[in-house]
Structure 1
């Protein structure tokens, strides 16, 4: 297999497991308790844990699981632009498969379009903040030469961002799109998706500015040749 095929496969599998975890843990939490705070706690801790596991496992090949992270990596010189479309498609397709798998595991319809409306200025700002922070954490680790910490940094950040952002930190277009297909705790109504995607792009763009302002490009250039996210 070529390097790109391995990367596409890694992104597909990783994003599928990520979305299956986000949706599946939300379903399990609502089955076990009616306490919304406990439901969110379970959802956030389990999502953070699986991110650590998936990134540790797949980072040697490709472990972005997120189209905006892949695009930012290209902007900063870590991934060739020609690789961005196939990687993004793999992430979206993998996320959709993960949503279907989660639904089926809990004996729900394979696809059930979410009716969970998430539309307000506060939620949109939450997505800007969530995505900005996620991208800053990832590329701050890369530019400071600490790629071995990315798994723990991302897992910890997402666990926290579930709680401190109003949107519960989707921060990922592939995950956002996939969550349309499950009318459960973690779902999002299709009408709410475009604004979330737009705010994620805004957050990522702001993060690029901050990363360039805060961190030296020297380590980034060296790590890009090694391939910190996509090898």
Structure 2
């Protein structure tokens, strides 16, 4: 449980999501400026995203838990590791922070602060990819916390780096990031009309990940030890 008050935790969530989105959008703009090769541009978008996640989770995790993602906050609320009121506040902070991150990225590259994306991202394959991406993210976080808590920043960063390439959607895996990316008509954008399908898929993937991992990570009691205690 964090020892920081709610105001500081919300600030950490907004700041972290803003910097995450600024990295996603900004690196996408930079990559698109530097090369016409789509694969190389995607690589230029992938590596900074994975790297910034390691940094942000390391420095802000002790304050807020470093969710930066409404799907993650929902999972922790359902697991009763954060109360529902705080989770709702986290989600608002994440969405606001994400939009601010998009605006900052645009201003850094001398673009219009607010845009509307025209990039089409829809269809069953894309939705399945988002469900799989978010499922894997939740699985990584929950198993990481249980078995290698200090390595969670690296686990999440590496997972997202991989998921950029093995999912058809390039792994948004985050409703706040998806919303923020609808405000940029650049390399990383998504049409606002395509948001509902992505968000639903992400939430479904997160819930399936929570259910499966909660079962998978529940260890069985040592029956031999229990029997010895009973005889004593």
| TM-score (structure 2 length as normaliser) | 0.91
Name structure 1 gaps, 5 residues minimum: 219-231
User: Once superposed, what is the RMSD of the aligned Cα atoms?
Assistant: 1.3
Aligned-partner SS, 1:60:
helix
Match of 1:143 in 2: 146
Q: Distance in 1 between matches of 2:162 and 2:4?
A: 37
| Offset, 1:5 | 0.7
Q: Distance in 1 between matches of 2:217 and 2:14?
A: 30
Name structure 2 gaps, 5 residues minimum: 221-232
Match of 1:153 in 2: 155
Moved over 2 A (4+): none
| Offset, 1:217 | 7.1
29, 37, 48: which one aligns with 1:27: 29
Match of 1:98 in 2: 101
| TM-score (structure 1 length as normaliser) | 0.91
**1:187-198 matches, cutoff 5 A:** 187-198=189-200
73, 78, 83: which one aligns with 2:81: 78
Count of aligned pairs: 217
Match of 2:49 in 1: 47
- The higher radius of gyration belongs to 2
Pair 1:118-2:135 in alignment = no
Match of 2:10 in 1: 8
| Offset, 1:120 | 1.2
| Offset, 1:49 | 0.2
Q: 1:34 to 1:74 in 2, by over 3 A?
A: same
Q: Distance in 2 between matches of 1:143 and 1:76?
A: 14
Q: Distance in 2 between matches of 1:52 and 1:186?
A: 20
